[in-house]
Amino acid sequence: MISLDDLDRSIVELLIRKQNLTPSEISRDLNVSQSKVWRRIKNLKELGVLRGRRVLINSELLGFGVTVFLGVKLATKGRVSLADFERAVTSIPEVQLVQHVLGLYDYRLRVVARDISDFERVLRRRIMTLPGVGNVEANVLLSEERRFGPIS
């Protein structure tokens, strides 16, 4: 684990809590020089604590009204089939998230679609035809909240 000092932690915390922050705003909030903030952010990036930024998009406004999470169980396992499945599933443009999980399912997918019939098309033509795919469970997303996570 990387040891961070109080200033590093405060910077990470601010970046998690507030959107669209610039280094000058951080330096004002924490009352330290802007160049110091720059150096710390650069260091946090080099350490891999900060992976750059993410954009939050309203998918609905771009015509993607449906988000579905799928739990996928593979019918056949083994190293080759995992690699085949992963290669095929990650190339589907409607699939935004692929997580390898341990538990009731082998993979967890986030799929976006224009509407329910578009989702049916993706499910039938793309997902159900994936190599090795077995049981699939679908849950339609109704709402989503981001929390800050374990920061002080």
Partner 1 sequence: MHKITNNEINMHKLTDIEKRLIRNIMEDPDAGTGKLAERVGMSTTACWRKIEKFQELGIIQGFIADVNWKKLGYELEVSLRITLDKTQKDAFEAFLSGARKIREVNEIQTFLGRVDVRLNILARDLDHYQSIYRNEILNLPYIAEVEALMIISDVKRSNVLPI
The distance of closest approach from Cβ of residue 15 to partner 1 in the complex, given in angstroms and rounded to an integer, is 4
The residues in 121-140 that bind partner 1, with binding defined as CB under 8 A, are: 137-140
The residues in 70-89 that bind partner 1, with binding defined as CB under 8 A, are: 71, 86, 89
The distance of closest approach from Cβ of residue 53 to partner 1 in the complex, given in angstroms and rounded to an integer, is 5
148 binds partner 1 (CB under 8 A): yes
Which two three-digit tokens encode residue 107? Answer: 């993979």
Which two three-digit tokens encode residue 7? Answer: 């200033």
5 binds partner 1 (CB under 8 A): no
The dihedral built from the CA positions of residue 89, 92, 98 and 102, taken in this order, carries a sign that is negative
Burial (CB < 10 A; 0-12, 13-18, 19+), residue 26, is buried
Q: Are 106 and 100 in contact (CB under 8 A)?
A: yes
Residue 19: HSE in the Cβ half-sphere, 13 Å Cα cutoff: 6
What gap in Å lies between CA 61 and CA 27, rounded to an integer? 34
> Which residue in this structure is represented by tokens 């690699």?
83
- Judged by CB under 8 A, the residue of 12, 30, 32, 136 near partner 1 is 12
- Judged by CB under 8 A, the residue of 6, 61, 79, 117 near partner 1 is 61
20 binds partner 1 (CB under 8 A): yes
- Judged by CB under 8 A, the residue of 27, 34, 59, 81 near partner 1 is 59
117 binds partner 1 (CB under 8 A): no
60 binds partner 1 (CB under 8 A): yes
